[in-house]
Amino acid sequence: MVASNCIGIVSAQRAIFDTPFTFRSGAVLTRYELVYETYGTLNADKSNAILVCHALSGHHHVAGYYADDPKNTGWWDNMIGPGKPVDTNKFFVIGLNNLGGCNGSTGPSSIAPLADKPYGASFPVVTVEDWVESQARLADMLGIKQFAAVMGGSLGGMQALQWSLSFPERVRHVLAIACAPHLTAENIAFNDVARNAILTDPDFHGGNYYEHGVVPTRGLRLARMLGHITYLSDDAMADKFGRSLRSGKLGYNYDIEFEIESYLRYQGDKFAAYFDANTYLLMTKALDYFDPARACGDNLDKAFAAARADYLVLSFSTDWRFSPERSREIVNALLHNRRNVSYAEIASTHGHDSFLMQNEHYHEVMRTYLERVAKEVAV
């Protein structure tokens, strides 16, 4: 049974861009495609659009389900739908698969126009700024001059923040959830281990594994296992798995023994079976690079000087990947620039993953904020 307030059947659409796109790195794509979905109805003056940006492993299928695959509900379906915090009776919501992704948008596994083979290693390293630029082109195509809101969690939250810096006049509200103004050395270190797992997998072939008919499964699996440790909280792991043994006794070998091992290996295997390793590399690099303060002498206050949006910043008490302290850095910089900021630290045991979870307080804060946004919008 699908809940009555599910958006219901949705379908993916495809936008084709034939104007060359220049990345921050200087690399150029002569054409690219973005896969996206929309929910709700765009109003007459096109003022009720909300852009949802995805995180590391996300994509365009944010809410609802496909007619031919009813069990595959969107990754943020608990948040978005009729009567939900992001109310599709009021808002026109857009989800897309980012440039460089592996869910239909142009990425490393796409066929490069002239080479007649997948881009592989030749696909440009993409930054949060690049994504925002490419998303703005999608907005242009849809005739949306200004978003009512841009929102996202984690890496998605960074894109939402960047929107208000790259296009201050094109976004009225930014909802930045469980994110940070930049990665710490420790954050980068985890990403670097994950990347090295992929880069040193003999099946990686310098990124051109498609041509060899193999996939760097081992590396991608390790990367995901490691990622999962940082998505959960120590307490959540202790509560869920503790030191429980699968068979009740020690095996004195290297098979799965503890429940936590079973969970991690399962998550790693599942992910490695469908996600593209090159996309994983790109995503981690975009995370590492995001740092709006860098161009302003590491002064985050200065970085936000151009911002014109209002902000909702949310963090989760047990998130140690991007802790509440990191969100407060963002809030402080915004306050120094006299922006309207709402901030809440949500109590949750689920660590960084909390932003994807059903949580009454979290969803109420989102609902209340977006009800205010909806009042500014002529339906």
Among the listed residues 225, 283, 331, 334, the single contact to a copy of itself using CB under 8 A: 225
Rounded to whole angstroms, the Cα distance separating 249 from 291 reads 48
The residue (of 161 and 341) whose beta carbon lies closer to a copy of itself is: 161
Contacts of 243 (CB under 8 A, 6+ apart): 258
CB atoms within 10 A of CB 349: 17
The dihedral of CA 355, 65, 127, 145: what is its sign? negative
**CB 153 → a copy of itself: shortest distance, Å?**
21
Among the listed residues 6, 160, 264, 346, the single contact to a copy of itself using CB under 8 A: 264
Short-list 285, 14, 337, CA closest to 125: 285
Among the listed residues 72, 89, 200, 340, the single contact to a copy of itself using CB under 8 A: 200
**CB 152 → a copy of itself: shortest distance, Å?**
22
The answer to whether residue 288 is catalytic is no
Short-list 41, 87, 108, CA closest to 281: 108
Side chain identity, residue 226: L
Token duo for residue 3: 């809940």
Q: Is 283 in the site for a copy of itself (CB under 8 A)?
A: no
Give phi and psi for 26, each to the nearest 5: 100, -15
Report the chain's C-alpha Rg in angstroms: 21
The answer to whether residue 244 is catalytic is no
**CB 260 → a copy of itself: shortest distance, Å?**
4
Using DSSP, state whether 328 is helix, strand or coil: helix
Q: Is 188 in the site for a copy of itself (CB under 8 A)?
A: yes
Which one of 77, 87, 319, 353 is the catalytic residue? 319
Using DSSP, state whether 1 is helix, strand or coil: coil
Short-list 141, 184, 134, CA closest to 159: 134
**CB 208 → a copy of itself: shortest distance, Å?**
13
The answer to whether residue 57 is catalytic is no
Q: Is 258 in the site for a copy of itself (CB under 8 A)?
A: yes
Q: Where are the beta strands (DSSP E) in the chain?
A: 13-17, 21-22, 28-29, 32-39, 49-53, 80-81, 86-87, 92-96, 147-153, 171-177, 310-316, 341-346
Q: Which of residues 115-144 bind a copy of itself (CB under 8 A)?
A: 124-125
Among the listed residues 66, 168, 208, 261, the single contact to a copy of itself using CB under 8 A: 261
Q: Is 218 in the site for a copy of itself (CB under 8 A)?
A: yes
The residue (of 185 and 378) whose beta carbon lies closer to a copy of itself is: 185
Q: Give the binding range for a copy of itself (CB under 8 A) out of 159-167, 170-178, 255-263, 305-313.
A: 255-263
Query: Which DSSP string do the residues of 176-212 spell out, in sequence order?
Result: EES--SS--HHHHHHHHHHHHHHHTSTTSGGGTGGGG
Among the listed residues 197, 215, 333, 341, the single contact to a copy of itself using CB under 8 A: 197
**CB 280 → a copy of itself: shortest distance, Å?**
12
Q: Which of residues 80-109 bind a copy of itself (CB under 8 A)?
A: none
Write the CA distances from 265 to 60, 226, 268, integer angstroms: 26, 10, 5
**CB 314 → a copy of itself: shortest distance, Å?**
22
Q: Is 241 in the site for a copy of itself (CB under 8 A)?
A: yes
Write the CA distances from 148 to 51, 85, 370, integer angstroms: 8, 14, 10
Among the listed residues 12, 15, 142, 199, the single contact to a copy of itself using CB under 8 A: 199
Query: Checking DSSP bridges between strand 147-153 and strand 49-53, what pairing results, if any?
Result: parallel
Among the listed residues 1, 44, 67, 250, the single contact to a copy of itself using CB under 8 A: 250
**CB 164 → a copy of itself: shortest distance, Å?**
22
**Would you tell me which residues interact with a copy of itself (CB under 8 A)?**
23-27, 124-125, 182-186, 188-190, 192-193, 195-197, 199-202, 218, 221-222, 225-226, 228-229, 232, 234, 237-238, 240-243, 250, 252-254, 257-261, 264-265, 268, 281, 285, 288-289, 291, 294
- For the annotated catalytic residues, the residue numbers are 154, 319, 352
